[in-house]
Every structure is written in structure tokens, then in C-alpha cells.
Structure 1
Amino acid sequence: MATGTTSVLARPLKPLGGLFAMSLDTLQAMFKRPFQWREAILQMWFIIRVSIVPTLLVMLGFTLLVIFEVNLLLKDLGALDLSGGIAGIASIQQIGPFVTVVVVAGAGGTAICADLGARTIREEIDAMMVLGIDPIQRLVVPRVIAMVVVAQVLNFIIGAGGLIGGYFFSVYLQGATPGAYVDSIPLFTGPAELIFSMVKALVFGIIAALIACYRGLTVSGGSKGVGDAVNQAVVITITVLVPVSLTITIVQFAVL
């Protein structure tokens, strides 16, 4: 009875331990040579290609919706000229990093998981290990690096796009003063906030890439298993990112 109970309790921890072990192996493999630059660049281009359009669409929806709602409140309070600062908070500090990696995990992460999952069920990963090729160094490290770089790029695009879109939205549609909009941005968003935004995108990118790679490398059950792993990778990534984002935000407010 006790053994069965222990097995039931320990079963959910097994994937967590496997993910942690793979994360340590990935960190170690990053310092091995030769580095797979070609593979990393190809993965960067692939992730950007599948993520850029969804990122822009989600950016416009989330950022402008938040700016519109908050600007209505600011207008009632007679503080519409602070809309630039609100746009900075929305697009740079909060929405930007989270939306970036949610989209990247949904687009790039699923593709990474499906690719590695297909290689796993075709026993390509086992063949690489037999030939003495480390799949972590050859496949996982370039994808983690690619995801982190793309997350930073898309985070910058969302931040800049949110500020520019918020400017036209606030000034031309809601009557904010152009100079006051621009001047209010540094009141709420400075270098420290930009650094925390980059840190968020960095952490989110690493988490999304590691989860996608781990589920791809641990696929079982043929093509159905690949499909299940892809769905699980997205759900697990978003589930993990919510408390991580909250933790980083709490640390940010505590430090600043």
C-alpha cells in the first residue's frame, strides 16, 4: 500500500527531475565546442518566421486594449497626458515579455517539440548517441539559444510597437497631447524597467525552449504521442510562466 502511494506521489515528479537534469546538461553543453552556429541561426530564422505575425497581432490586441481602457479612466480623471507612461508599463514591463514568449511557445515551441519528437520516434536520437554525438549539444543548445535571442527581439518589437501604437491611439483618437505623451514615458519606465523586461524575456525564453525540447526528446507512442507532447508542451509552458512572471514582478517592485 505504501509502495503504491509512493509511486503515485512520485510519478509527477519524474518529468520534473528529468527536465532539471536536461537543463543542467544543456548548461554544461553550452560551453562545449564546436558550437552549432548554423543550426542556431536556422532555428532563429524559423522561430521568427512562424512567430512574427502572431506576435504583432497579439501585441496590437493586448496593448491597445489595455491602453484604451486605462486612457478612458485617465480621461475621466483629467490625467490623459500620462497615457505615455501607461503605454510603457503595458507594452514594456508587463505585456511585452509575457505575450512574446506565449506566442513563441505556441508557434516556435510547438515546432521544436514536434521536430524533436519526430526524430525521437524515428530513433534518430538513439542513432546519434550510438555514433557518439551528444543530442543535447547538437540539437537542444542551438534551439535554446535561438529561442532566447528571438524572445529578446520580439520583446523589443512589442515594446517599441506598443509605444508607437499607443502614441497614435492616444493622440489622434483620444486627444492626448503629443509632447506630454512622450514626456510621461520616463516617469514610469526607465533603464531599470527595461532591464527587468529583458530579464523576463530571457527567463521565459529559456523555460519555453527547455520544456519544448524535453517533451520532444521524451516522446513515446508514435505520431499520437508527438501530438500529445506538443499540446502538453504549450500548456505546461504557459502554466509555468504565470507564477514565474508573478515572481519576477514581485522582485522587480521589491528592488525598485
Structure 2
Amino acid sequence: MSARAVETEPARRPRAALSPQGAIVDLLAPVWLAVEVLRSIPRSLLAGRFPFEEYLRQTWFTIKVCTLPSLAVSIPFGVILALQVGVLAQEVGASGFTGAGNTLAVVRQAAPMITALMLAGVAGSAICSELGSRRIREELDALEVMGVRVVERIVLPRVMATVTVAVLLNGVVMFFSIMTTLLVSVVAMDLSAGGYLASVGTLARPSDLILSLVKAAIFGVLCAVVASHKGITAKNGPSGVSDAVTSAVVVNFVALFGANFVISQAYAQLFPGGVA
């Protein structure tokens, strides 16, 4: 190979990788994977091929690695939220609505986002690194050669496990965050526990809880699908797996905030009378 070819080849690769067509394909690939996962659910259940053992194993693993980090974030977040909302409520003369403000902020926004970020950063990284390692060891290629559907056998149980843990963990984070805001408001802000809880019942609606659970489920699908896609498309050896994990976390974080904005705005339009 000539020296001119050696000099020009590295300059060509970034342009090809950053082409509009490649960017669009890379953006839509997780969407197609999500569609394939949804299609695989009834097919695997009706055919009796759903990997329940793998689903349970992945669920237990996700619970173990995500519960403590989520609580470690939710408790200090509850302290900060209670202090900020309490001070603001006192300044505007609305101390009676402190409980409602804290609780609605936790239920509508904080709990599902904390859960999703922990899933993306911890469980998503594990999923991506595992599938990426299997890809570079050609294990996934071997399954495909044997006629085993990788999406149905490998990706589907991880997506279902992540969604299950997201919904359950969302409730745990919600409970601890609300209890933290209640404790801080009663001890530090000299509010009565009865008045705090009464304000919650005045403004909170069942649709707020439904919104939180729906957000958690959607975020769980998003985290698992993006991590799985980055893992099964990893290449260039161990360094490629490392790059895939980093990319999965970054893409998940950006996508989660975007999805949260879209869902919140849709909720505000469907159920006017409050900001989601």
C-alpha cells in the first residue's frame, strides 16, 4: 500500500461513519429491535419457548445491582427537594401545600427518572457488556447458525426483566423519597404530619400514580433495548465492547430525558390541571 493511501484512509473513515445515512440507520436500529422484541413476546409465549429461567435470573440480578444505588440517590434527593420546596412555599405563603408539591414532584418526575437512570447506568451497562462479550466471542453467531433466535432467547428476557424491576423499583424509590420529604418537612420545617398528608390528598390524583408506572415501564424498555442493541452490534474486540458500553449509557441518558419530556407533555395535554 502506498504512503498516499495510508495517509488518506484514516480521513475517509470518520466521514463514512458520520454520514447522514449511517446516522439515520444507527438511530432507527434500536427502534426495529424494540419492535422485534414486542413481536417476540406473544410468539414465544404461545409456542412455549419463553425463557422463564433466564428471565428470573436477570430479574434477580437487576434487583441486586440496582436497589441500593437507587435508594442511595433517592434519600438525599428527597432531603434536597423537601428543603427547597419548603423554603419556597414559606416565602409565597403556601406552606400548607408543601406536602402536595413534594409528593407530586416525586411521583411524576423524580421516582421514574431516578429508577431509569440507575437502570441505564448499572443494569444497562451489564447487559451491554455481556452481549458485547458474547458477540466478539462469536457466541451469538453460533446461536444464529443453530437456528436460535437471539432476540427471543437473549434479548427478550432481559427486556422483560428490566421492565419488571423498573416498575417495582419505581415504587420503592417513590416510597423512600416521600418518607424522606415528610420527615425533613416535619423536623426541619416545623410542619405537621397531618397537614402535610392532607395536602397530598387534595391535589394528587390516581392518574399521577399511573403516569409514574407507565413512565417506569417505558423507561425500562428503552434502557434494555438500547443496551442490547449496542451490545449485539459491538465489534473490534474488547475495546469495542468498552466503547459500546459507554455509548449505551450516553444514548440512554439522552433518550430518557427526551422520552420524559414527551410523556410529561402528553400527560399535561390529556389531563389538564397540573404540570407533569
Normalised TM-score (structure 1): 0.95
Q: Deviations over 1:34-89 (max 9, x none)?
A: 11111111111111111111101111122321221110111223322322111211
**Of 199, 208, 218, the match for 1:193:** 208
Aligned to 2:174: 159
Residue 17 of structure 1: CA displacement? 2.8
Aligned partners of 2:55 and 2:157 also within 8 Å = yes
**Of 25, 37, 57, the match for 2:36:** 25
**Of 221, 232, 242, the match for 1:217:** 232
User: Does 2:134 correspond to 1:123?
Assistant: no
Higher-Rg member (1/2) = 2
Residue 236 of structure 1: CA displacement? 0.2
Aligned partners of 2:100 and 2:203 also within 8 Å = yes
Aligned partners of 1:81 and 1:181 also within 8 Å = yes
Normalised TM-score (structure 2): 0.88
Q: Which runs of 5+ in 1 are unaligned?
A: none
Aligned to 1:110: 125
**Aligned-partner Cα distance in 2 for 1:250–1:244:** 10
Q: Deviations over 1:73-117 (max 9, x none)?
A: 112233223221112112111111011101111000000000000
**Aligned-partner Cα distance in 2 for 1:59–1:26:** 31
Residue 142 of structure 1: CA displacement? 0.4
Moved more, 13-22 or 194-203: 13-22
Aligned to 2:3: none
Number of aligned residue pairs: 253
Aligned to 1:229: 244
The 3-state SS of whatever aligns with 1:149 is: helix
Aligned partners of 1:71 and 1:80 also within 8 Å = yes
Residue 175 of structure 1: CA displacement? 0.4
The 3-state SS of whatever aligns with 2:148 is: coil
Q: Which runs of 5+ in 2 are unaligned?
A: 1-14, 272-276
Moved more, 57-66 or 239-248: 57-66
User: Does 2:54 correspond to 1:43?
Assistant: no
**Aligned-partner Cα distance in 2 for 1:128–1:72:** 59
**Aligned-partner Cα distance in 1 for 2:110–2:191:** 22
Moved more, 120-129 or 31-40: 31-40
